[in-house]
């Protein structure tokens, strides 16, 4: 049973009141320069209001405008009003605004690794907020910092006080960010995708921490996210943004039960369901990839004494059959990427066997491996970085087959076919990667991989960097490519929803080992291992069927 936050907070005092706000590119007149158009929203004491939308919808710009942090010379407020506790923020001087920040309004960001200063002790980074806004003795300041660190449930606070960000885990870093934001008990907290970079189990902890602190201090929270599951868990009210406009706003349950705007409906339909899709008929039994007893140990180094190594993958055995998709799910550090890289021979496995299309490749030398590389191809997570920006798409596509002796003309013709397969215009071959959107680029990356006519496609978090609606399209494309060419796919993902939608079989990994391996339906609906259950329980909005706007019956 999905429990929405239905307690109405709109009668409480409004902390943030944004009315008809518009923001434009500096120096650009006319409708083209408009980045935010007529944004109105209110956040009340103790209330969480979510801003949802895909990349480029203007949700982050809205938050920066409220904080007075729009990049100078690039963006400027061109109309409307932002009020906090009845005080207009747009008329404040920069130094008045500075005093508000950190004190009455605070912000936490998406990526705690980059949002914290890497060369400063985290305790000092929290202490800075107190020192800037309060007159405190050194001792009192330190005590206060240790106290807030305890409030966000950091262990061993005295040690962590003196640690640098890189010495902490992702979850700990985000706790530091939260401690920093809440040190002075601000009335308004803006959380910009605060859990997007975290693992699901960590995400669940951070979300409940924010909720708890909000409860205790009556903080108003403006929550920015693209994740509908998170929205369903945390918000009282939701605003859906698209191209700088709010297209729909409603109390949370109303929005999920009866979405009225077309775009909202489309967004909700794109959220992959946690219910595994129906198993496909197993026509083929021909194994394309057979891994058995594979290990990968990273040696510990050390000049005089050998330090103990790290077991990144141990006793990995599985099989992928032609036309089937095997998913490997797990959190960061679980070893799923090490497995993928070992199979690609981007790293050399320490022991064990890997057979691709019947050929043992685990121990082949680089040179001997080369002719077999075309049998297995990879699609990476970030299409912005995995295509050479100075090469035309055509050149990137043709390079592989030409390296393996295909005549240039033939390769070019195959590239044209590929454009059709991935549903891009034929003239895309003459253009450069930056001229395409993220989704289109991922289509190109898939086309590049499929150009080689591989038997096995390894997709390493291939849809994780994409917006949900684009994600759905790319998943469909992978399905179609698989159906037409009969490729086996090894799909690495941290996202159980995605795994449920694309995989026939699923492997769950933890600490470098396989903890559960079975059909997607078995593993996701009747998990046997505790860790799998933990992962499923941590998935936000798991009781809700977003596409059909109702409770999930099987949950």
x/- mask, other proteins, residues 68-87, rule CB under 8 A, reads -x------------------
Pair of tokens at residue 299: 């040696």
CB burial string 394-404: b at 16+ within 10 A, e below: bebbbebbeee
- Which residues partner with 458 through β-bridges? 378, 490
Nearer to other proteins, 117 or 351 (CB): 117
* CB of residue 117 to other proteins, shortest distance in Å: 4
Supply the minimum distance, in Å, between the C-beta of residue 147 and other proteins: 18
| Least Cβ distance, residue 112 to other proteins (angstroms) | 9
Q: Which of 117, 435, 548, 554 binds other proteins (CB under 8 A)?
A: 117
Does 256 bind other proteins (CB under 8 A)? Our answer is no
**Is there binding between residue 100 and other proteins (CB under 8 A)?**
yes
**Residue 129 touching other proteins (CB under 8 A):** yes
* Residues 468 and 437 sit within 8 Å (Cβ to Cβ): no
Instruction: Please report, in angstroms and rounded to a whole number, the separation of the first and last CA atoms in the chain.
Output: 8
Report the residue from 65, 106, 189, 515 that binds other proteins according to the rule CB under 8 A. 106
Residue from 109, 256, 263, 517 in contact with other proteins (CB under 8 A) = 109
> Which residues touch 551 (CB under 8 Å, ≥6 apart)?
1, 2, 543, 544, 545
User: Residue 474, interface with other proteins (CB under 8 A)?
Assistant: no
Residues in the chain: 555
Is 507 near other proteins (CB under 8 A)?
Answer: no
Q: Which of 43, 107, 191, 509 touches other proteins (CB under 8 A)?
A: 107
120 contacts other proteins (rule: CB under 8 A): yes
CB of 161 to other proteins, least distance (A): 14
What are the Cα distances from residue 23, in Å, to 43, 190, 241?
A: 20, 18, 14
User: CB–CB of 361/355 below 8 Å?
Assistant: yes
Residue of the chain from 164, 384, 391, 412 that contacts other proteins (CB under 8 A): 164
Helix or strand (DSSP H, E) at 198: none
| 19 makes contact with other proteins (CB under 8 A) | no
CB of 519 to other proteins, least distance (A): 42
Residues 6+ away with beta carbon under 8 Å from 180: 106, 125, 126, 129
Round to whole Å and give the CA distance between 50 and 215.
Answer: 17
- The strand pair at 544-545 and 376-379 is best described as unpaired
Nearest distance from C-beta of residue 114 to other proteins, angstroms: 4
Query: How far is it, in rounded angstroms, from Cα 132 to Cα 98?
Result: 10
Helix, coil or strand: residue 38: strand
CA distance 114 to 402: 41
Q: What is the DSSP code (8-state) at residue 167? A: G
**Among positions 16, 89, 115, 343, the unique one binding other proteins when judged by CB under 8 A:** 115
Interface pick for other proteins out of 39, 49, 116, 411 (rule CB under 8 A): 116
Q: Which of 13, 99, 385, 430 contacts other proteins by CB under 8 A?
A: 99
Binds other proteins by CB under 8 A, chosen from 258, 303, 305, 366? 303
Contacts with other proteins by CB under 8 A: the residue count is 28
Contact 468, 547 (CB under 8 A): no
Q: Which stretch binds other proteins (CB under 8 A): 103-111, 228-236, 326-334, 427-435?
A: 103-111
In the shown chain, the binding pattern of residues 376 to 395 toward other proteins, with x for contact by CB under 8 A and - for none, equals --------------------
Q: Which is nearer to other proteins, 23 or 328 (CB)?
A: 23
Sequence-separated (6 or more) residues with CB below 8 Å from residue 366: none
User: Quick one: 116 or 415, whose CB is closer to other proteins?
Assistant: 116
User: Residues with Cβ < 8 Å from 470, sequence gap 6 or more?
Assistant: 54, 437, 438, 439, 442
Closer residue to other proteins, CB minimum distance, 51 or 177: 177
Nearest to 489 by CA among 479, 501, 474: 479
Of 132, 208, 284, 403, the residue at the interface with other proteins (CB under 8 A) is 132
Q: How far apart are CA 404 and CA 414, in angstroms?
A: 14
Closest approach, Cβ 375 to other proteins, in A, equals 39
Distance from C-alpha of 109 to C-alpha of 536, rounded to nearest angstrom:
25
Q: Which stretch binds other proteins (CB under 8 A): 81-89, 111-119, 227-235, 387-395?
A: 111-119
Q: Which is nearer to other proteins, 99 or 434 (CB)?
A: 99
CA distance 481 to 478: 5
Q: How far is the CB of 305 from other proteins (least distance, A)?
A: 12
For residue 494, give the nearest of 359, 375, 333 by alpha carbon: 333
102 binds other proteins (CB under 8 A): yes
- Nearer Cβ to other proteins (114/260): 114
Under the rule (CB under 8 A), what is the footprint of other proteins? 67, 69, 98-103, 106-107, 109, 111, 114-120, 128-129, 132-133, 164, 166, 177, 180, 303
């Amino acid at each position: 049973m999905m429990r929405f936050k239905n307690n109405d907070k709109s009668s409480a005092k409004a902390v943030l009141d944004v009315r008809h706000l518009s923001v434009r590119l500096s120096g650009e007149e006319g409708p083209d320069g408009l980045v935010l158009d007529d944004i109105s929203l209110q956040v009340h004491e103790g209330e969480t209001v979510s801003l949802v939308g895909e990349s480029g919808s203007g949700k982050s710009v809205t938050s920066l405008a409220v904080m007075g942090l729009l990049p100078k010379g690039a963006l400027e407020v061109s109309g409307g009003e932002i009020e906090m506790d009845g005080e207009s923020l747009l008329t404040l001087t920069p130094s008045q605004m500075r005093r508000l920040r950190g004190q009455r309004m605070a912000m936490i960001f998406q990526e705690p690794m980059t949002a914290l200063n890497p060369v400063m002790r985290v305790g000092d980074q929290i202490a800075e907020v107190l020192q800037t806004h309060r007159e405190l003795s050194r001792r009192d300041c330190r005590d206060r910092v240790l106290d807030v660190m305890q409030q966000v449930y950091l262990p061993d606070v005295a040690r962590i006080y003196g640690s640098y960000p890189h010495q902490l885990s992702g979850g700990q870093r985000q706790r530091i960010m939260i401690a920093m934001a809440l040190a002075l008990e601000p009335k308004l907290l803006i959380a910009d995708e605060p859990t997007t970079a975290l693992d699901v189990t960590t995400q669940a902890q951070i979300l409940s921490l924010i909720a708890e602190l909000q409860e205790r201090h009556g903080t108003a929270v403006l929550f920015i996210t693209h994740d509908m599951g998170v929205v369903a868990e945390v918000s009282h009210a939701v605003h859906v943004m698209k191209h700088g406009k709010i297209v729909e706003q409603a109390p949370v349950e109303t929005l999920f039960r009866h979405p009225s705007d077309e775009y909202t409906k489309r967004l909700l339909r794109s959220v992959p369901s946690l219910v595994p899709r129906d198993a496909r008929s197993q026509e083929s039994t021909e194994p394309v990839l057979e891994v058995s007893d594979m290990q990968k140990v990273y040696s510990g180094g050390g000049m005089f004494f050998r330090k103990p190594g790290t077991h990144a993958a141990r006793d990995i055995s599985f099989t992928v059959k032609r036309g089937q998709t095997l998913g490997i799910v797990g959190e960061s550090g679980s070893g799923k990427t090490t497995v993928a890289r070992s199979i690609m021979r981007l790293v050399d496995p320490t022991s064990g066997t890997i057979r691709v299309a019947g050929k043992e490749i685990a121990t082949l030398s680089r040179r001997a491996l080369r002719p077999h590389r075309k049998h297995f191809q990879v699609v990476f997570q970030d299409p912005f970085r995995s295509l050479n920006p100075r090469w035309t798409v055509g050149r990137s596509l043709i390079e592989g087959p030409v390296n393996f002796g295909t005549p240039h003309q033939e390769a070019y013709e195959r590239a044209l076919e590929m454009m059709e397969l991935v549903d891009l215009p034929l003239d895309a071959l003459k253009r450069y990667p930056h001229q395409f959107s993220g989704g289109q680029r991922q289509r190109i990356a898939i086309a590049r991989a499929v150009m080689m006519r591989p038997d096995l496609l390894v997709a390493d978090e291939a849809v994780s960097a994409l917006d949900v609606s684009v994600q759905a399209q790319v998943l469909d494309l992978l399905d179609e490519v698989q159906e037409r060419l009969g490729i086996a796919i090894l799909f690495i993902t941290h996202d159980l929803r995605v795994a449920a939608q694309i995989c026939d079989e699923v492997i769950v990994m933890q600490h470098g080992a396989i903890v559960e391996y079975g059909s997607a339906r078995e593993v996701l609906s009747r998990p046997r291992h505790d860790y799998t259950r933990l992962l499923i329980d941590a998935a936000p909005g798991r009781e809700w069927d977003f596409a059909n706007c109702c409770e999930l019956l099987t949950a």
